[in-house]
């Protein structure tokens, strides 16, 4: 598919196709085994390059399940029922396919919502795997506003992952106060 991709890129105007051509050119010059190994080393063996958008914002918290369900719902709302074949619905290539082939408006909304994830991934790839960095640079360039210039600025967009599991739904009057015994021995014989 690489020759077809490169031919399509040559037909597009502007600077973004050139960014994608940079990666396509490198992949075209690599031996297939080298390219496959680089992909696995970059994306499958390192959390620093996670292609799952909610991983960057929610980490391995329980809240991430909600985020993944929201991705699926957005796909359904656009009439796209997809067989994920074991992949999570926040997988960046899947989100990009959704935006390109199904619902550009909803896809751009997801990408904008997860801008911090994309920017963090872009920054990490620029440092560790420059062959893939231009792809993320191109994706980020399609979103409104300037890209952060460093990891701290990108992390500020996301904020830390927050675990939202606790006892909030319970009536606080039923919970023991600090220093009180949990069980009362009154009335026990």
The total domain count for the chain is: 1
Structure confidence at residue 160 (pLDDT): 59
Annotate 130-185 with DSSP letters as a single string.
Answer: TTTHHHHHHHHHTSSSPPPSSHHHHHHHH-------SSTTS-GGGSPPTTS-SS--
Within-domain flag for 109: yes
Looking at residue 58, its pLDDT comes to 85
Question: Could you give the angle at the alpha carbon of 107 between the alpha carbons of 105 and 113, nearest 5°?
Answer: 100
Question: CB under 8 Å to 154, separation ≥6 — which residues?
Answer: 116, 119, 120, 122, 123, 148
Domain presence at residue 176: no
Cα dihedral 97/90/6/140 (nearest 10): 110
Residue at 100 is within a domain: yes
What pLDDT does 149 receive? 86
Q: Within a domain: residue 1? A: no
- Residues 59 and 152 sit within 8 Å (Cβ to Cβ): no
- pTM higher than 0.85 for the full model? no
Per the structure, the complete domain to which residue 43 belongs is given by: 16-159
Is 166 within the bounds of a domain?
Answer: no
151 within domain boundaries: yes
Residue 107 has a pLDDT of 97
Reading the chain (189 residues) residue by residue, the pLDDT tens digits are 888 999 999 998 888 899 999 999 999 999 999 999 999 999 999 888 999 999 988 887 888 999 999 999 999 999 998 888 889 999 999 999 999 999 999 999 999 999 999 999 999 999 999 999 999 999 999 999 888 888 888 877 776 555 555 545 444 444 445 554 444 444 444
- pLDDT value for 155: 79
């Amino acid at each position: 598919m690489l020759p077809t991709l490169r031919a399509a890129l040559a037909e597009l105007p502007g600077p973004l196709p050139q960014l994608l051509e940079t990666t396509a050119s490198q992949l075209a010059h690599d031996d297939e085994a080298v390219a496959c190994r680089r992909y696995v080393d970059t994306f499958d063996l390192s959390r620093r390059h996670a292609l799952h958008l909610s991983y960057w914002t929610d980490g391995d918290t329980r809240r991430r399940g909600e985020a993944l369900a929201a991705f699926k719902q957005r796909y359904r709302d656009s009439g796209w029922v997809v067989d994920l074949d074991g992949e999570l619905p926040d997988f960046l290539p899947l989100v990009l396919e959704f935006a390109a082939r199904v619902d550009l408006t909803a896809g751009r909304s997801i990408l904008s919502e997860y801008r911090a994830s994309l920017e963090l991934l872009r920054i990490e790839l620029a440092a560790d795997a420059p062959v893939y960095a231009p792809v993320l640079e191109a994706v980020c360039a399609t979103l409104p506003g300037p890209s952060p210039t460093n990891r701290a600025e990108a992390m500020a967009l996301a904020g830390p992952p927050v675990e939202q599991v606790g006892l909030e739904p319970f009536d606080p009057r039923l919970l023991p106060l600090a220093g009180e015994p949990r069980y009362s021995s009154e009335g026990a014989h």
